Amino acid sequence: MKQEFYDAVANNPIIAAVKDEEGLVKCLKSSDISVVFVLYGGLISDKEDVMAALKAGDIAITSTNEKVWKM
Determine the pLDDT at residue 30.
86
Average pLDDT along the chain, 71 residues, taken 10 residues at a time: 81 87 88 82 74 78 73 67
Determine the pLDDT at residue 22.
92
Determine the pLDDT at residue 12.
84
Determine the pLDDT at residue 5.
80
Domain holding 44, by residue range, is 2-69
Buried (b) or exposed (e) across 21-37, using 16+ Cβ within 10 A?
Answer: eebbeebbeeeebbbbe
Number of domains in the chain: 1
- pTM for this model (two decimals): 0.51
